[in-house]
Amino acid sequence: MFNIGIIEFLVIFFFLILFIKPNEFPNIFKNLGLMYRKINQFLSNLKFDLSEIELNKDLKINKIKQNKNNGLSRSSKRTKK
């Protein structure tokens, strides 16, 4: 998802070791996990909402096309009479 390679991961881990006390690691990793979960949940909800909007847009377009075709067929029947 974030395209983090092994080198980037090692650099981040190195700076964590330098600047953070080892007894704070569990809390930091817990908070990072919660943040990651919330971001993933937000993104999946966003994808669902966008697909729902796209579906509604397609349904409206199809309804307009159907109404247009029904109107054309009615007018052609009137002109034939």
At 13-72, the pLDDT tens digits run: 888 888 888 888 899 889 989 999 999 999 999 999 999 999 999 889 888 888 888 876
Residue 10 lies in a domain: no
pTM: 0.55
Q: Which residues contact 16 (CB under 8 A, 6 or more apart)?
A: 25, 28
Max CA distance (Å), the chain? 89
* Domain assignment of residue 2, yes or no: no
Backbone angles phi, psi at 37, to 5 degrees: -65, -45
The boundaries of the domain holding residue 59 are: 22-80
Would you say 28 and 20 are in contact if contact means Cβ atoms under 8 Å apart?
yes
Mapped onto helix, strand or coil, the DSSP state of residue 29 is: helix
Q: What span, in angstroms and rounded, lies between the C-alpha atoms of 42 and 35?
A: 10
What is the number of structural domains in the chain? Answer: 1
